[in-house]
Chain A
Amino acid sequence: MNKYLFYPGCSMETSAKAYYESLMAIKDTLGLKLEEINDWNCCGATEYVGISLTPAYALISRNLALAVQQANGADTVVAPCSACYLNLAKADHYMAERPSLGERVNQALAAGGLHYDPGTLQIRHLLDVIINDIGLDHVKSKVVKPLKGLRVAPYLGCMVPRPDYQKRWSDHEHPNELDRLLRALGAEVIDFPLKTHCCGGHMTQISPSTAFELIRRLISSADQYKADIMVTVCPMCQMNLDAYQAETNRHFRTNYHMPIVFFTQLMGVAFGMEPRQLGFGRELTDARAAMARIGVEVPEPESAKKPAKKAKKTGLPMPQMPGSEQEAAE
């Protein structure tokens, strides 16, 4: 199999470390050759495009220009993060659609000795590569521990199936790729109606009540469908549903407990790998009970007691978080 130029994106090194660790753990089993783009930079997320057009697209395109330099026959950039995937795809698409933008971006890149011709690279999401290049037959053949009995809600979020410039997905609103993959792993997959609804994106930082409502809809729907766990392909979705679940619960006076992990983590479990190797234990909404249903022991989080202790030091009345409650009890 040909190599792919790999654009990890900032989240994979920090908030979505579990995604990175699990991907690194399963890539050889999948026969996936990833070559990280040297000295890549942030894609600007959804922030830079909302400030200034040419700088935002120049920032994104530096990565594409660097990727071309080390391509050596490879023509596909694979991004595991939805926002990175969309930004890279968008730069490639719009530089071609509006040649004057392409020209300006290249004039800017020239100041750094770089150049990118739109259309040179294919920009693809990790899930697309796994489904369409590696194939479910290969995935199935590697399953040694089927996820039998685990009820999962497949959750893709927005920016993978939409706007879909290259028409790679089965549907913009109800794509079946993630469902098919999880079924191949042996999981019981619910027909999750909100699978491509929004997690709130950066709204947790800007307009919390807007974000909490979007988070509530998702976790409450997954809960009503009696999912044990949600499975995502996006660092932002994971972060919002996992880390802000406690605050959302406080906001609505609810008591949901819906863990959410990356699809690559469950792939690793089905391939018989150690949960610790797959980044389990990094979630803030505890996934231990869900994973115990299929006999998988998720490691106790490192320094689990620290957060609860330090939180008390603030001396303010502290509503209990479902996560910290359990941690404190242990």
Chain B
Amino acid sequence: MTASTKNPYYAKDPNLRFLEEVSAATAGVSRLEMCIQCGTCGGSCPSAADMDHTPRMLFALIRAGMREQALSSNTPWICVSCYHCVVRCPQDVHIADVMYTLKGMAIREKLYKDATAPDFSLTFVDMVENYGRSYEFGLATRHYLKHFPMRLPGMAPMGLGMLSKRRMDIAPTRIKGIDQLKKILDRAKELEAVQ
């Protein structure tokens, strides 16, 4: 039994356990609890300018139990997974992995503000689950038609260049063990759901 389950205030407001929840849902040992709010992460971030909150601010929201604000922040979606903050963090917080956790939670609770990034991830994964391989042509056409139709004319030379230089296949490749992979993923999803 952790300290927080004994504390009567946590029972009244489950969001006060949000930090624990995020940490537990993260791969490895997140060390999110160890954040000292120094701001090294935001200062190291190449895409912080486009974020609603720097990682430091986001972690403060999480610690304060401000669940909705944290999960609707665009920050995890703007994170480019460059791991600059991760290697510079004096507390060794697994920042990039925490961002992945927050994305997953935002998708499940439909709290993201812009569907472009979640749709891209979901479409990518849909292809992988069906073929066992990524399928760039299918992904690009489906994604661009939905989210960037205006970009398509400008992108045409590039897309055709990729096709004519055989850097993109029109047909997907399917692995032989796709049934085995599907069984594995179905079981993994069941296990994830009961956690």
Contact = CB atoms under 8 A, between A and B. Distances in A.
Interface of A: 10-11, 13-17, 39-42, 44-55, 57-59, 62, 90, 93-94, 97-98, 101, 104-105, 107-114, 158-159, 162-164, 172-173, 197-198, 200-203, 205-210, 214, 243-244, 246-247, 250, 281-282, 284, 301-304, 306-308, 310-311, 314, 316, 318-319, 321, 323-324
Contacts of B80: 158, 198, 200-201, 203, 210, 214
B186 A111 contact: yes
B154 A247 contact: yes
Interface string B71-105: 00000111011111011000000001101110110
Closest 7 CB pairs of A and B: A162-B83, A108-B188, A111-B187, A50-B103, A198-B82, A94-B28, A58-B188
Contact of B86 (A17, A47, A163): A163
12 contacts: A40-B175, A50-B121, A53-B101, A53-B104, A58-B184, A98-B29, A104-B191, A107-B191, A163-B86, A303-B164, A314-B153, A324-B161
A111 B184 contact: yes
A280 to B, nearest CB: 11
A54 B136 contact: no
A207 B116 contact: yes
Given A101-B28, A108-B187, A113 B164 contact: no
Q: Pick the most buried of A203, A306, A324: most chain B CB atoms within 10 A of its CB.
A: A203
A163 B154 CA distance: 36
Q: Pick the most buried of A57, A164, A198, A206: most chain B CB atoms within 10 A of its CB.
A: A206
Interface stretch (B7-15, B32-40, B58-66, B165-173): B165-173
A250 B161 CA distance: 17
A156 B160 CA distance: 27
B168 A246 contact: no
B87 A172 contact: yes
B113 interface: no
B165 A281 contact: yes
B23 to A, nearest CB: 11
A314 B156 contact: yes
Given A13-B173, A53-B27, A104-B191, A306 B184 contact: no
A254 to B, nearest CB: 15
Contact of B188 (A55, A93, A246, A306): A55
A47 B124 contact: yes
A173 B156 contact: no
B6 interface: no
A109 B50 CA distance: 39
Interface residues of B, number: 73
B117 interface: yes
Interface string B121-148: 1101100100011101000100100001
Contacts of B183: 111-112
B29 A97 contact: yes
Nearest to B87: A172
A10 B124 contact: no
Contacts of A318: 153-154, 156-157
Nearest to B81: A46
A260 to B, nearest CB: 14
A10 B27 contact: no
Nearest to B183: A111
A252 to B, nearest CB: 14
Given A15-B168, A214-B80, A302-B165, A52 B157 contact: no
Given A207-B117, A208-B151, A284-B161, A197 B184 contact: no
B187 A197 contact: no
Nearest to A93: B28
A164 B92 CA distance: 13
Given A10-B133, A158-B81, A202-B120, A47 B125 contact: yes
